[in-house]
Amino acid sequence: MDSDKGNPHRILLYDAIQNKIRYEIKIKGVSTLSDFKIERKKIDKICIRNIECKEFIPFLIDLNLFNISSCGNFIDIIKKDEVCEIKFVNKFEKLVGPIIRAYDFNNYLYK
């Protein structure tokens, strides 16, 4: 996680074998659970439920977040204007993680 004046600016994911940047996600904003006065709890298993921003699929697979069964929590990545909103919710649609608004995604695998 990279910051600009104390605010989240981008997420960099490195390839451990090649020691190079694999993905860069530029962040427009983050809303944390404390912003909504929600207590943070342990999240056991996360499944991807809805992805409108398809460029995130390889990133999620590399993070091993591509479960497809026995899910109590979900990641939704919704396109809103020029921003992809990443939201973590439980089966009751309650927030269990931050809301991350990303405006740029780069996959350096083929660069």
pLDDT one-digit tens code per residue, 63-74: 777 666 778 899
pLDDT in tens, 31-41: 989 988 888 88
Q: Is the dihedral of CA 50, 55, 57, 61 positive or negative?
A: negative
Can you tell me the distance from the alpha carbon of 43 to that of 32, in angstroms, rounded to the nearest whole number?
Answer: 15
CATH number of the domain at 101, please. Answer: 3.40.50.10480
Domain of 43? Answer: 2-107
Check residues 52 and 111 and name the one with the higher pLDDT.
52
**Structural domains of the chain, count:** 1
Q: Model's pTM, two decimal places?
A: 0.81
Can you tell me the distance from the alpha carbon of 7 to that of 86, in angstroms, rounded to the nearest whole number?
Answer: 17
